[in-house]
Structure formats: structure tokens, C-alpha cells
Amino acid sequence: MLKLKKKLINYEVIISLYFTLHGVFLHFNQEYIDESKIKILYFLTPIFFVVFLYVLFSFFRMYKNVTVCESYLSLDDRKIDMNELCYVNVHIIYAFESLNWARKVEVYYKYNDGETFFFSGIFSLNARYERLIDMFKGNEKIEVSKNGG
């Protein structure tokens, strides 16, 4: 059984907020910046602010608990029977695979009637990639993959 649990800290939110606040600080304290870099500052600060808003918004819309097993897919309180689905694809994007640190997890699933859904988020995994492959080996509906492979 694969269990995904939403991480409490999203580093993309923190980093984009830091660079946004740093850009605002430099805007009001121009003695700390070089005049040749001021155009870059005025270009990047709004971009980091937009990234901050997008990542923050998507972080709160994310599922808290996702469970994938042989008989069902559970999204928070909603259970979907595997007989209703054509496939479930769990794609893991690792920051550091040796530490089992997943940066992002993408989940694709398709109903038998053709409707396809996708969501992604910052989740912690309950098992290493090799164990997940062994766990779902032979199952035609559940596929686990990772970046670069």
C-alpha cells in the first residue's frame, strides 16, 4: 500500500517569499544594490511574487492524504474502487533519491468512461522507490515511475 501524506513545509513557498521580500527590501534600500542590476531586480521581484501566490494557492488545494492499494484509490475521504479506473500512474520527482526525498509527486488516474484526472503535490512517501516497484509488480492498473526512469 502506497501512502502519500502532505508535507507541512513547502520549500517553494518559503524560497519564493524570501526572494519577493528581498526584492522589496532592495527596492526601498537602493544603496545595497549595484545600479547595473536594478533592471533585473524590477523584473524578478514581480515574477517571484506571482510564483509565491501560485505555489501558496496550489499548496492549500492539495490533498492531505492519498492512498493507493490493489483495491482502491483514496483521496482524503473519497474512495475510488479500482474497478472504476483504467489506470493509476504515480510519478515521483526526486530531489535526492538516496535520501528518499521526493520533491514532488504527480498522480494521474483515468476512469473507465475516459475521464482523466491529474494532481500533484509535495508529499512524503511511506516506502522507497524500489519497494514500491516490488509492491505493485504484476498489477496492470497501477504504475509507479520516477524522474529519469
Using one digit for the tens of pLDDT, what is the confidence trace for 22-47?
888 888 888 888 877 777 788 888 99
Give, in degrees to the nearest 5, the angle at Cα 12 between 18 and 34: 35
Residue 112 has pLDDT above 60, yes or no: yes
What pLDDT score does 72 carry? 93
Residues near 1 by beta carbon (within 8 Å), at least 6 away in sequence: 67, 68, 69, 126, 135
How many residues would you count in the chain? 149
Predicted structure pTM score: 0.73
Q: Running DSSP on this structure, what letter comes out for residue 78?
A: E
- Gap between the Cα atoms of 8 and 104, Å rounded: 13
Cell of 54: 501560485
Highest mean pLDDT among 53-57, 67-71, 92-96, 124-128: 67-71
Sequence-ordered list of residues with C-beta below 8 angstroms from that of 83, at least 6 positions apart, any chain: none
Q: Which residue has the higher pLDDT, 9 or 141?
A: 141
Among 6, 10, 132, smallest CA distance to 69 is for 132
**57-85 pLDDT tens trace:** 887 778 889 999 999 999 988 999 999 99
* CA distance to 20, 33, 131, per residue, from 4 (Å): 30, 43, 14
Q: What is the pLDDT of residue 82?
A: 92
